Amino acid sequence: MSPPPRTILLCSCDDTMSPDAEGVARVCRGAKIDTAHQLCRAELERFRTAAAQGEPLTVACTQEAPLFAETAQGADIIFANIRETAGWSADAAAAGPKIAALIAAAAEPMPPTPVVSLESDGVILIYGRDEKAIEAAALLKDRLDLTVLLTKPRDIAPPRVTDVPVVTGTIVTAKGRLGAFEITIDGYASPLPSSRARLAFGAPRDGVTARCDILLDLSGGAPLFPAADLRDGYLRADPANEAAVLRAVMKAGDLVGTFDKPRYVNFTADLCAHSRSHIVGCRRCLDLCPTAAITPAGDHVAIDAEVCAGCGSCAAACPTGAASYALPPADALMRKLRTLLTAYREAGGTQPILLLHDESHGTPLIDALARHGDGLPANVLPLAVNEVTQVGLEAIAAAFAYGACAVRLLLRARPRHDIAGLRGTLALAVPILAGLGYGMGAAATIETDDPFALGDALRAIVPGTTAAKPAGFLPDGAKRDVMRQALRELLHAAPAPVDVIALPTGAPFGKIDVNVAGCTLCLACVSACPTGALGDDPDRPTLRFIEDACVQCGLCQATCPEKVIRLTPQLDFRATSAAARVLKEEEPFCCIRCGKPFGTKSTIERVTAKLSGKHWMFSGPNSRLDVLKMCEDCRVIAVTEEALDPYAAPPRPAVRTTEDYLRERAGKPKG
């Protein structure tokens, strides 16, 4: 059964813009298009009538979204911003294709995101150094269960009535999140009730632990957590900034109850390539996580969803897809890209530039540019994501495969956390795009807090070469699968397709080179490989390699006892359809007693050659070299059948004593 047709309401916003209703109708086939002059005020009844029909509804306005949602409670409504992103622009006359594309993309369904619940009972620790902490406590004492911890206080006047617990000490370690903080305090001491002119404390103790739900840091020192502003429940303000302190206090007062946060990252431990047999391979996510939410956990890592702040760096860098972003998943984001770029092209748009941004920084910047500047160029298609750092290679490759001529990622001039992961993604994408003929500057960042600088940067882009025949594939599956799909379609659409592209060190694609002469086919690398890229043959000593499955984790290289494996990062588009390649193969050595194949011929011959004549057990007429040439079963039988006399060994030399050395030094004969 086909879904009901969607109704699209276009408003000119008091004739400040002219949305192309006919262009939208051509792209959004089957939709009912209705135009208005002032839908949110004078023509609000028209909205009520449309919402009462019970059909899916798209409203091309986000400013008045709360009003529309309240007016038509329970209706299936989505909102699209076409005013600040297209209509309010110096290029508004040419923005028809963009408007159609934005409306079409807004209707692309997004899967629900799982949530994590955090419980807070309102137990707060206020960490400060002076009266500012005590004043903050006075504002919160009627709402929260609090304690004030003062670090190295000076001349604090004793309270006339002790209505707020005050202790002293310095926090040396802190861990946890909203509802479950645990801290360790050195120099902990309670106040003396006999304090007179200034607050005095008793004997200090070190290593005291405490727990709380909320941690308000007014100490003015270094933050207690990495990426402190991303830690739920940890509020930090400069005690000299009264406005900042008041904001932190007000926010702390609201942190009581149950709070749901998205589970930003889905993790599949079986796919993780972190380590095998205590040998570490991949550490990409561990090195990138700004909040230290990722920790080693045996052969894989563990991601604390309650601490994770959702930057997405781990998911973007994960080579196997063990960590995948969920807000939205990679395939859902790519489907939105597909709709956006395909609709733009079908509406007659050319040379599309994709601008990826977040809501907290990018949206206000675009809004300011539209209100006070020339707005976005007509060929710049903005797309909001939760965090720009979540964007992986699969999304960038898909954008160019779908027809983008450039991709820009909008960042703060001073990012809230390290963007090394995103820079690594671009370092991987740039040589791939350049190698396929899209140009060196096809994908890049714009790092600014100035809307006019954003506009200048976008208008300065020289459109690169677009896909000769844009792809239309529908992505589906896990992250690694859609990445392969996107790269394959990128090759097919490329202006200058090639088979192999060299990649920088650390890339998640490549081959391994084996020094065949030094390899003993011990197959330790096969057991260490987490993706099955390396394999053996049950019938004969063979080492096989499937390049499409290799993620360059380095576990094979680290595990190899002979150190004959070398990683070569590259992207070979032929690998997706190539059969397993034999890296080394030898004839098996057959047991001289039963004929069963075991081991490799070169290994057995090397061992026997090294032992022959070097030890009494392997020399002479009763040499035991033949035992080495038998399989494990026959070796046991031969040993039990053989009458080995352990006393037949050559006599050991006599033990030399101190007297022997002294006698030799004096030149006296032994006797």
CB 446 within 8 Å of CB 365: no
CA distance 64 to 163: 47
Return the pLDDT at 1: 41
pLDDT category, 598, cuts 50, 70, 90? confident
Range of the domain at 133: 117-260
Which of 557, 585, 613 is at the close of a domain? 585
Q: Are 572 and 597 part of one and the same domain?
A: no
Q: Are 630 and 614 part of one and the same domain?
A: yes
Which DSSP string corresponds to 377-444?
-TTEEEEEES-GGG--HHHHHHHHHTT-SEEEEEE-SS-SS--HHHHHHHHHHHHHHHHTTS-TTSEE
pLDDT at residue 452 tops 80: yes
pLDDT at residue 671 tops 60: no
Q: Which helix (H) or strand (E) holds 253?
A: helix 242-253
Return the pLDDT at 621: 61
Q: Per the structure block, which two tokens stand in for 264?
A: 């930003």
One-letter amino acid for residue 304 of the chain: D
Q: Are 196 and 309 part of one and the same domain?
A: no
Q: Is residue 504 part of a domain?
A: no
Return the pLDDT at 78: 95
Among 506, 541, 482, which Cα is nearest to 317's?
506
Percent of the chain with pLDDT over 90: 78
Which of 538, 563, 585 is at the close of a domain? 585
Task: Name 295's bridge partners.
Answer: 302
Q: Are 463 and 337 part of one and the same domain?
A: yes
Return the pLDDT at 608: 83
Which of 260, 285, 304 is at the close of a domain? 260
Q: Are 382 and 395 part of one and the same domain?
A: yes
Q: Are 30 and 57 part of one and the same domain?
A: yes
Mean of the pLDDT values across residues 647-657?
70
Q: Is residue 153 part of a domain?
A: yes
Q: Is residue 88 part of a domain?
A: no
Q: Is residue 64 part of a domain?
A: yes
Q: Are 206 and 232 part of one and the same domain?
A: yes
Of the two residues 273 and 637, the one the predictor is more confident about is 273
CB-count exposure of residue 510 (10 Å: 0-12, 13-18, 19+): buried
Among 539, 531, 584, which Cα is nearest to 555's?
531
Our count of domains for the chain comes to 6
State the CB neighbour count (10 A cutoff) for residue 634.
Answer: 19
Q: Per the structure block, which two tokens stand in for 22?
A: 């006919």
CB 253 within 8 Å of CB 214: no
pLDDT at residue 92 tops 90: yes
Return the pLDDT at 623: 66
Q: What is the CATH number of the domain that holds 521?
A: 3.30.70.3270
Of the two residues 666 and 448, the one the predictor is more confident about is 448
Return the pLDDT at 138: 94
pLDDT at residue 616 tops 70: no
Q: What is the CATH number of the domain that holds 179?
A: 3.50.50
Backbone dihedral angles phi then psi of residue 350, each to the nearest 5 degrees: -130, 160
CA distance 353 to 381: 6
For 530-553, the pLDDT digits (tens) are 999 999 988 888 999 999 999 999
pTM for the full predicted model: 0.89
CB-count exposure of residue 41 (10 Å: 0-12, 13-18, 19+): exposed
